[in-house]
Structures are given as C-alpha cells and as structure tokens.
Chain A
C-alpha cells in the first residue's frame, strides 16, 4: 500500500478579527474597544492524498480552500489537528520539506515585478540549488511547453496576465517538487490561456508523476485535470470522491435543452418544477429532468410547443456544483445517510 504524501486529520484553523462600525465614530470606538470575532476558517478537516494523484479542492469563496493550502505549505500554523506532508510537519519549515513542495497562487506573485522573469528564475536556481545543466534543461522544456521562449527576457510588468501566470508556474516548478499546490492558477485568464495552462499541468504531471492539489472556480479545470474531487463548505469537507460519483450526486437527472420557433411564456405549467433556465428572448430553455420522466416530459413539450431543436445530456458538473453551493444541506443529508449505511 502506498503511503499518503498528504495526511491531514482533524485540521482546524481559527482566525480572530474584529468588527468596526463605519465612519469616524466607529474608528474611535474600535480604537479603544474591540469586540473580537472568532471564525473557524477550517474545522475538523481530514484528507489523504497519494503519490501521483491530482485532487481538485472546490468550494465557494471563503470556504477555507486557500487557508488549507497555506496550512499544507507551512505558511500558517493550524490551530488544532495533525498534518504531515511528505512525512514532515509543514509549520516546522524544514529546509528539505520546503525543497520538495511548490505553491502557485493565482492572485499573488513570486516574480520580481521590475526585472525579466529569467532573472527571478536565476535567483530561484540558487535558492533551490539546481545545477546549471538541470536548470537550462528545465527552462527549455517548460518554456517550450508553455510557448513562452520569447518572453523570458521581458520585464514581468510588461507581460499579460496569462503570460505572467505561465512564468509563475515555471518559477514554482524549477526545482522539480514532489507535491504541488495550485491555488486558482487559471483565475482571470482567457479561454485559450486557461487551456494552455491545463495542458501544461497535465503534461507536467504525466512526466513527473507528482502529486497535485488544485483549487479553482472553473469546473473545466477540474474536469480536465482531476481524478478526485474534494468539496469544502464553510470549512468542512462536504464530499470526497471521484468525478463520476460527483456527477451522480443529485441522482440521475438529465439536462434537456429546447429551442423554440417563437418566444414562450416561462410561467407555463409544463415547465414548473424542472429548474428551468431561460435565454434572454425566451426562445430557448435548459431543464433538469429526472431520468425516469425524461421521455414523457420531452414528448409533451414537443407535442404542445413549437420545438425547433432539442438535446439531452448528463447534468453538467457546473449545474451540480451550483445546486450544492445553493443547498449544502444536500451533502449533509448524503453524509448522514452514508454514515447510517
């Protein structure tokens, strides 16, 4: 049996902030008297990840994803719980541990803004004691895979967001880490740049057999990269399993889209209870239909309304995610059911 590279048990992180009322009076009051607000950003989180796995860590804003990433990398210290990454306690910040991990944050940069990326890479080469030969080889390989060979000597502040993110990835992977934490690596990027980054991560993982934890708000990232999905809601783990199981979490519902020859009244009885999402001029609708009623409902709509076209597919992962974010109790109920079984 393979030993997990990441092992977290009962992980908890508490942050203390304080409330301030607006305006000058609020500032004066909070200067002298502050009421602390204690918030559990992560509570009782368990996770095991093995070598070679790619795990998608998903959840709404403020769910605790980034806090987890920061605990995994040793940037912040957990309030409670056990955590071992490659056999080390991250917050002890052992030098060898730091040489074996990497963190990429989509919203923070480790490159020096006013110099070309190559200068930052050379500094990182010294930090991580990468030999010249290995350094050249890795730069050549990664820059060609990302298509940025021509940009290595341009000042970072002159690069586009997508180009900068590619450089950030290169900077973090120069030392060939065994465990990689990617915190929203595709945030704010256009579709082509997102696709390039996904392709790069996939290739990199295939060649290096490393373990990757990725957080993202884009379901395409997860679908393209992850074998396993972990959902976190309000600091607690809501789901941990494969992508296929996740898609079935709401049952065997289907997504059915209809295009009509003319605009339709969305309040018609026929669409009630089917979670209808209409286009702007009401000539197209997407419905969520239980598998067992797919035929009768579809036939009814085709018979009664001027249908131009229609298509059926498995419920898209975005829809499942949206439904769960709006109704996290679905997961709680599922967990309780599993516990009873």
Chain B
C-alpha cells in the first residue's frame, strides 16, 4: 500500500498538468465532430500561421545564440581569471534572479531604455546626434527589439549553466596540450571546445525553448504588433480569431512539439557532457 502515499501528487498532476495537456494534444487530431483527422496540422500551413512560427523560431534562435555567446564570454572571463575572483559570487546570485525575470515589468524596463523617449535613445540623440530608429533602423517593437529584451534573461541563464561546465575543464588537459606543443588556439579548437560542445549546444536548446514559450514580455512590449506564435495563440484563446478551435489546439500542439524537442536535446546533450565533466 506504499503507493497510496503518492496518490495526492499523482491526482493533482493528472488533473492540472497531464489531462489539460492531453486534451490539447488530442484536440489537435480531431475535427469539430470529434473524429480523427490530420487536417488541423495541415491547416497550420495556411494564413499567417507559418509566418508566425517562422518569426518565433527566428527570435528564439537569435536570442539563444547571442545569449550563449555573451553568457559564455562573461562566464569565461570570471572562471579563467581575467577579472578578480570575487566577481563570481555576486554575478551568480544576480544571474539566478535575472534568469527568472521575464514578464511585463521587463518589457517596461526596455521601453524606458530603448523606447522612443527612453534613457539610451535620448542620450544618444542629445550627445551624439544618433537617432536609433532613423540611423540604426532599431525599433523596440520589432524583431530586434524583442530579441534584445529576451537577452536580459537569456544571458544570465547561460551564465548559470555554463559556469560549472567551464570549471570542469581540468588544468591538466591544458598542460598536457601545452607539453605536446599546442598553441592556445589549438588547445581551444581541439581540446576544450569539443569537450564543451555538448554543454554549449544543450544550453542553446534550453535557451531556445525558454524564448519560444515567453508570452507576457512579448504581449506587454509589442501588443499585437509582432505576429509571434504565443501572441497569436493568446488571441486565439481569447476570441477564436482563427475561426476554428481545433486549429488552435494544433497551434498549441506545435508549440509543445518544438519546446519538447529542444528540451529533449538539452537533456540528452547534458548526459553526454557529464561523461567528461565530473
């Protein structure tokens, strides 16, 4: 009877996580009368839906790639001693907070900074005569605007995950490479990066999923100006803008599939990475 102790948890998770998700997944494969169909998935290729998936993927890839790059640079600067050691502890604490900070307030922070009358916008205009929207083609309510905003939680997430991996690189490996006559570039290209590669790619996948599912920041920042998947799904749930509830299910199903692939990739690569980094 020991399994009885697990029942409250199992019932709760079934009712409020598994069943609702299953309902969406099954609905994606049904027509309005409840019969099995693949038409909803085919209909994903109509109207504005493909373009919204495409722009969502592009924003997620861009913010994940830049997040990986900048986060890696910052973590490397701290781990390899380019900057004093005491920087690490506050940086990690800060990253823990900032990586959780997606949402409506984040959107306002970036509006106040890079918006039409934001701090940086006004500063550049008054001191250097640079108008962001005119000279650099930058608009906060756009692809790059959203990417730049997402980076605020992407970079810290990268720092949190990659720092332990960088610390797992043993001094002996570098020394062994040097004894064999390797230059720094060769050490990185042939030893360190291949070892780090699963960690890097895995974190990229996680960051991708993280950006793909973000709803609140996008809605608060752009309203409905930018046609990304979460915004379109939000509108569909509110008022059935697609005119077909089952097509809405298919859209949600598409989101699950994409974030699930990214997460499975992350877990798989993490297991691979742990072979070396113990």
A and B, one complex? no
Chain A interface (Cβ < 8 Å from any Cβ of B) = none
